[in-house]
Structures are given as structure tokens and as C-alpha cells.
Chains A and B, each alone.
Chain A
Amino acid sequence: MIKIQVQMFAGAKQLAGRDTVEVEVRSPIQARAIFDALQVAAPELTPLIPSCRLAVDNRYVIDQSIIDEDSTIALIPPVSGG
């Protein structure tokens, strides 16, 4: 298993109560697995996760994407800029 840090923002940070959540995933790391692992590591995120996107190195990825373990990974709740 590989330990990776997932950055939290806005409502996700508030729910998790921290800036990052560490998750454990198997290699190769698929984006979908990070969502699942987040619900284990921080169950309080569960209601928000279905509406979140995952960003890897500042770009959105789809659930099937394979992620390099050295990447910067962020959980992106629904945005509301402007």
C-alpha cells in the first residue's frame, strides 16, 4: 500500500478539520480509489465526496486516470468563484 496526501479546500477542509488527509491506496493508483480511500480515512467527507472532483498537478482527472504517487493531489468541492 502507498500513503499519499490529499489536499483539502473549502467545505472539504471544514468537514475534515485539516488541510490534508492521508490515504492508503494500492499501486497503480487510480483516481477512483482515492475517493474510496478518502471515505475510509475521513468518513466525515462522505456526504460531500459525490459532488467533488479530483485534481492532479492542478488539472482535473477522470475516475479512471492513473496517478503518479509523487503528484500533488487535491480534492475539489463544487466551486463557486466569481
Chain B
Amino acid sequence: MSANPTVHIDIVDAPIDLNALTEKVSDPDVGAHGWFVGVTRRTTDDRITETLDYEAHRPMAIEQLGQIARQAIDTYSLAHVVIVHRIGRVPVGEASIVVGCSSAHRVDTFAALPWMMDAIKRDVPIWKRETYTDGQQEWVHPDSDSTPNE
């Protein structure tokens, strides 16, 4: 475990530059870097997404993301955590969220990524509104989101 774990949290209105984030989990004492990239998917069952828009309660989302990152560091002995969520309109194929972490051994990084994503989807005040090609719009409710976006 790194002597000085770091957390990088951001909510952005523009495309996420994954390459620029890689250095934030780098550390001579880690052997594993892990990344999850959630992107806008075109199809949900038989419906086609025209646009996907995200809205956040920004100060609360930042605080909640920081809590999740710090808890992941404690639980999984991570060295570093990066969580960046994009809000506004996110076109099909582009990333709405990037979660990265690093640890001495791969097992911790592998375990931490799904745990962080589940916590984010449960607790962080960010909302997704689908606009389908048939013109219908809906705020995605977790119960109705039978096939998660990514």
C-alpha cells in the first residue's frame, strides 16, 4: 500500500481524456493499474438512444465520490483512485464515467472497481435522462434500468 494514497475526483462538462488520467494512479510501488470506462450505449432492449444527458447535484456528488474513493482505499489497500464523471450530453460511444485505481497486487484493483461502480450507482446524486429515437424521454430509474448502461 502506498504511503500516501491519493484521490482525484472531478465532474466535467467535456469529453474525458483517459490518457491524461493514467499518470494519476502511477506509483513505483504498485503492480496493478485498473480502469473502468462507462460509455453511452445505443441500444436498450429494442429501443435506440438518440441522446443521453446527465445532471448532477455537483457539490454533493463530489463529496460522495470522495467518500467512496477513500473507503475503497481503506477496504482494498489501494494506492490511488481516480473518478471522473461527465455531465451534460454524452454522445453514443463516449465515456460518461472513468474509474481508475492502482494497488500493489491485481486482486485488490480487480475487486475495487465493481465495488466503486456499485456504490456510485447507488448513492451519488447524478441522474441520466434518455431521449429515444421515438421522441420519448425518461429519467432512468435504477429499477427500470434492467440492462445497465455499460
Contact = CB atoms under 8 A, between A and B. Distances in A.
Interface of A: 7, 9-11, 14, 51, 55, 58-60, 74, 76-82
Contact of A82 (B63, B97, B143): B97
A38 to B, nearest CB: 16
Interface in B48-73: 54-57, 59-61, 63-64
Chain A CB within 10 Å, residue with most, of B57, B64, B126, B148: B57
B127 A80 contact: yes
Interface of B: 38, 54-57, 59-61, 63-64, 85, 96-97, 117, 120-129, 139-143, 145, 148-150
Contact of B141 (A55, A76, A80): A80
Chain A CB within 10 Å, residue with most, of B55, B122, B139, B145: B139
Contacts of A55: 57, 60, 125
A7 B127 CA distance: 15
